[in-house]
Amino acid sequence: MWTAGLVAALVFGWVVPVGAVSAHGGHAADDERPGQQVDQRTAIEHDVALVAARTGWTPAATAEHLKVQQQLGVLLGRLAERHPDTFAGGRLAGQPGGTSDIRFKGQVPADAAADAAAAGIRVNLAGGARYSSTEVRARADAVIAHLRGLGYADATAAVRFDGTIDLTIGGGAPAPILPSELRDGVRVTAVPAAVTRQEHTRGGAELLDNNVFECTSGFTVIDSVTGTTGVSTAGHCTGLDEYRPPEGDPDYGVTFQSEHQGVYGDFQWMTTQNHVDLPEFYARDGERRTLTALTPYNNVATGFWSCVYGRGSDLRACDQVYSTYVVTVTVGSLIAMTTDHTTGGDSGGTWSFGSEGIGVHLGDYYTGGSWRNVYSLATNMYTALGVTVIL
């Protein structure tokens, strides 16, 4: 019988480049005490097993489904680039062997069918969407900007695959009456409690504020102009001054450089004192993975799987994308997942699958009637902060 690892290796066919380490220094210069450094095949095996356990699918079916996810992501990126005015998003099939969906505003472009056939996956191409992806994201931004102008302080707008927007008003504020030009496809819900929840707190270990654990470190980064390297985390984490190596070495200092809490997400980055910043991340306690790629925004679709790890919960959990675009009164360009797996202290932790990085954890938002994990796309750090993730 095939194991999840064998299936993943055979189905995905991904290979870790030999000697893939940071250009800014070798492992020998800065290794922590022994932990489990896993290769790309093992990283995929572990995440396939997590998704299989969550869904009840066999390892073989799970690996095949996640291969389709990868192929669909590439196809979506290509179609979004070629047809920015009409591309309206994608959705991964709900089950292995199912048919995925791609929508367009107006007619399906003539070359889209050929691209879909070349991808070799089952996909339904449909026209008739009222808005393109670009237009519906702009509508969500406009709705939140309108609320901000009215003095609303707590609201989330989540774009759905069908082109509608889930607008949730928190804090007991009344449901607004939107201008006629913003009402189309917007579902408004008002709730008494807050609808945004950040996740930094006390206890555990990783990024510290005055020797007290607050947040989890994200991906390592490099300044695009100076070449200075460092580490990222969530922008709302404050006062961070130390990094605590998980393998037991002494804490060392970090120095704040810049932050962004706005249209591109929730990020900050810090330099580290006298340490080499490697292209690696902890996928769970004691398990280090070499980062091999980043997922672009246009390659993400409703239903896609990814996994999060934070030091607060000390748990690696996998979930599916609920919304590919979420905006609030203060932060935008977020991805929302289907459920909430995280806890205080997980902010800043990485979202990934296998060895491919996707995002930096922010916290939980209440939208569409449930609390859902939300994260900022790692590729947005260049626009937000002028840094890129080290590969």
Q: What amino acid is encoded at 277 in this protein?
A: D
Distances (CA, A) of 132 to 86, 126, 180, 369, 380: 5, 13, 19, 25, 21
pLDDT at residue 259 in the model: 96
Q: How far is it, in rounded angstroms, from Cα 383 to Cα 388?
A: 9
Complete DSSP assignment for 3-40: -HHHHHHHHH---PPTT---TT--GGGT--S--EEE-H
Provide the pLDDT for residue 70.
95
What's the pLDDT score for residue 212? Answer: 82
SS3 sequence of 322-338: EEEEEEECCCCCEEEEC
- Identify which of 192, 101, 84 has the alpha carbon closest to the alpha carbon of residue 135: 84
Strand residue runs (E) in 170-277: 186-190, 196-198, 207-209, 212-215, 220-223, 229-233, 242-243, 252-262, 265-272
pLDDT for the residue 11: 52
- pLDDT value at position 139? 98
* Cβ atoms within 10 Å of 287's Cβ, excluding its own: 18
pTM of the model: 0.89
Give yes or no for a contact between 251 and 243, defined as CB atoms under 8 angstroms apart. yes
Which residue, 151, 75, 84, is CA-closest to 115?
75
Phi-psi region of 39 (alpha: psi -120 to 50; beta: other; left: phi over 0): beta
pLDDT of residue 38: 87
Sign of CA dihedral 370, 375, 380, 383: positive
CA-nearest of 284, 287, 272, 293 to 222 is 272
Q: Which structure tokens are listed for 185?
A: 């496809």
Q: What is the pLDDT of residue 366?
A: 95
Residues in the chain with pLDDT values less than 70: 1-35, 199-205, 248
User: In this predicted structure, what is the pLDDT of residue 2?
Assistant: 35
In terms of Cβ atoms closer than 10 Å to its own Cβ (0-12, 13-18, 19+), residue 6 is middle
Q: Tell me the pLDDT tens digit for each residue of 32-56.
A: 444 578 899 999 999 999 999 999 9
φ/ψ (deg, to 5) at 170: -110, 180
* Per-residue confidence (pLDDT) for residue 27, from 0 to 100: 32
Tokens of 224: 């695009």
At residue 355, the 3 state secondary structure works out as coil
Sign, CA dihedral 231-235-236-239, equals positive
The string over 140-174, giving b where at least 16 C-beta atoms fall within 10 Å of a residue's C-beta and e elsewhere, is: bbbbbeebeeeebebbbbbbbbebbbbbbbbeebe
What does the pLDDT read at residue 12?
A: 53
Q: Are 306 and 335 in contact (CB under 8 A)?
A: no
Give the per-residue pLDDT at 65: 97
What integer pLDDT is reported at residue 283 of this predicted model? 93
How many CB atoms lie under 10 A from the CB of residue 132? 22
Q: Which residues contact 110 (CB under 8 A, 6 or more apart)?
A: none
CA dihedral 277, 359, 391, 290 (to 10 degrees): 80
Distance CA 158, CA 368 (A): 8
pLDDT the model gives residue 19: 32
